[in-house]
Amino acid sequence: MTSQLDLAKVSARKWFRRGLWMLFAGFLVFSAGYYVYRNWTVSEGSRSGTLFKISKKGVVFKTYEGQLHLAGSVMMSPQSTWDFSAVNEQVYQQLQSYEGKLVKCHYKQKVDPFVWQGDTEYLVYKVEPVQ
């Protein structure tokens, strides 16, 4: 014979498991949505100018950061400087070879990139010299 207490324990265990599965499913949906949000591309484009700085920096996550003096501006000022992050080491090495030269950087602007993607929301994925 099972008592009312045993039936209540079985029922409580069943609801507790369901609650844990629901919590887990909610966490997965939230995580996927958060990942998509952080990687959402707001705009794509290119900018041209003189590459005057490219560096690898970071304590935990090493990122590749650079600065471009935009073409058409005479004086160097914060308004004529464009900060960006390179997506990987291959692009970083290309950028290093073009330092001090006129280049065209193709980028994707993210809503809010992860810390391992770079310090800026502009992620350069391709660079080419301007003749």
**25 C-beta neighbours (distance < 10 Å), count:** 10
Phi-psi category of 35—alpha, beta or left, where left has phi over 0 and alpha has psi -120 to 50?
alpha
Here the tokens at position 109 are 């602007």
pLDDT at residue 3 in the model = 84
pLDDT at residue 86 in the model = 95
Percent of the chain predicted with pLDDT > 90: 69
Q: Do the Cβ atoms of 47 and 69 come closer than 8 Å?
A: no
Q: How confident is the model over 50-80, as pLDDT tens digits? A: 999 999 998 899 999 999 998 877 777 777 8
Among 25-29, 69-73, 116-120, the range scoring the smallest mean pLDDT is: 69-73
What global pTM score does this model have? 0.77
Pick the CATH number of 42-129 from 2.40.50.140, 1.10.3720.10, 2.120.10.90, 2.40.30.10: 2.40.50.140
- Using pLDDT thresholds of 50, 70 and 90, give the confidence band for residue 106: very high
Q: How confident is the model over 80-96, as pLDDT tens digits? A: 899 999 999 999 999 99
